[in-house]
Structure 1
Amino acid sequence: MSIYTHLLVGLDLSPDSSLQVARKAVELAKLYGAKLSLLHVIEPVTFAYAGDIPMDLTETQLAIEEQAEKRLTSLAAQLEHPIHSSKVVIGQTAAELRETAAQLGADLIVVGSHGRHGLALLLGSTASDVLHGAKCDVLAVRV
C-alpha cells in the first residue's frame, strides 16, 4: 500500500509559483500512484464601503471566480497527470483546504510557501495555518 493515495494541492494561481507547486505534487502523485486534486480559494469580497455607503461587489466576485476557474483549468492542462478534482471556492484558505481534504479523503495537502517570520518564516503563513488543525500531512513547497 502506498504512503499517500490522494494529494490535494492548494494553489494561489500566481503564474510561476503555482506551476512549481503543482509540478512537485505531480511528481509525488506519480511516485505514489496517487490521485491529484486542485483547489484555489478566493477570499470573499461581497461588500465594500465607500465612506458610509455600502457597495455591492457581487458581480466583481463572480468575475474573480470565473477568471480563477479559467486559470485553474489552464494550469491543470499543463500537468502531466490526471486531475481527480479541480475547483474554486470562496472562503478562508486554510479552513477550505482542510475541509476539502477531509471531504475528498486526501491524505496529503500540498501548498506553496514563501516564508515570512516566526513559524511563518519556516512554512509561510498559509502553510502554517493549514498545518494547524489538519487531519493529514501537509507539505510546504518552497517557492
Structure 2
Amino acid sequence: MTYKHLIVGLDLSEESPQVLERATALATACNAKLSLAHVIEPLTFAYGGDMPVDLSEVQEQLQLKAEQELQRLSHKIDYRIEAEHVLVGQPATELHHLAGQIGADLIVVGSHGRKGFALLLGSTSNSVLHGAGCDVLAVRVNEPDTRET
C-alpha cells in the first residue's frame, strides 16, 4: 500500500522542518499529495473564558502569523504543497476532522519523546494517534541541545 495524501501537522516549533523533511521524503516516495496544517488553540481555552477582554484581534494575529510561517516552511522544500490549513481548535480533533474532509490517508506529526511527568500528561502526537481514522506517523525530532557545556 502506498499513501495518496499526507497531512503534516506542524506545531511551528524549531523542530517543524525535521517533521516536514521526513513527510516530504515519504510523499516523494509515494508520489502523494502533501498538505500542511497547524492548529491554534482558541485563547478562550487557555484563559477559560474568564477574561473580560475581547481576544479576537489577538487570535487573528496568531492565525496570520501561523499562515505566514506555513508559507515560509513550504517554500523551503522542493515539493508541491496541495494546501496549507490553519485551524482553530483542539489539535487532535482538528487534524482528525481535516483528514476525513480532504481524504488524507496519513497524518504526520512530530514526537518529542517525552518522559516522566510530561508523558503522563499526554502529548499532541499521542492524541492524534488515538481516534484517527487513518494511519499516523510520529516523527521523532531531535530537539536542540539546551544543556550548557
Equivalent position of 1:126 in the other structure: 124
Equivalent position of 1:5 in the other structure: 4
Distance between the aligned counterparts of 1:20 and 1:53, measured in 2?
37
Distance between the aligned counterparts of 2:9 and 2:2, measured in 1?
20
Structure 2: stretches of 5+ with no match in the other structure: 142-149
Matched, 1:30 2:28: yes
The percent identity for this pair of structures is: 57
The code of the aligned residue for 2:114 comes to: R
The structural deviation recorded for 1:53 is: 5.8
Partner of 1:54, secondary structure, is coil
Give the TM-score normalised by the residue count of structure 1: 0.88
After superposition, the C-alpha distances for 1:9-37 in whole angstroms (9 at most, x for unaligned) are: 000011x3111100100000000000000
The structural deviation recorded for 1:79 is: 1.1
CA-atom RMSD, angstroms? 1.9
Structure number with the higher strand fraction is 1
Distance between the aligned counterparts of 1:53 and 1:142, measured in 2?
37
The code of the aligned residue for 2:69 comes to: R
Equivalent position of 1:109 in the other structure: 107
Matched, 1:89 2:95: no
1:61-72 alignment, distance < 5 Å: 61-72=59-70
Kept in 2: contact 1:41–1:88 (CA 8 A): yes
Give the TM-score normalised by the residue count of structure 2: 0.85
Kept in 2: contact 1:6–1:34 (CA 8 A): yes
The structural deviation recorded for 1:56 is: 1.2
Distance between the aligned counterparts of 1:107 and 1:133, measured in 2?
14
After superposition, the C-alpha distances for 1:80-134 in whole angstroms (9 at most, x for unaligned) are: 100011111100000001110111111000000012247x85xx71111011110
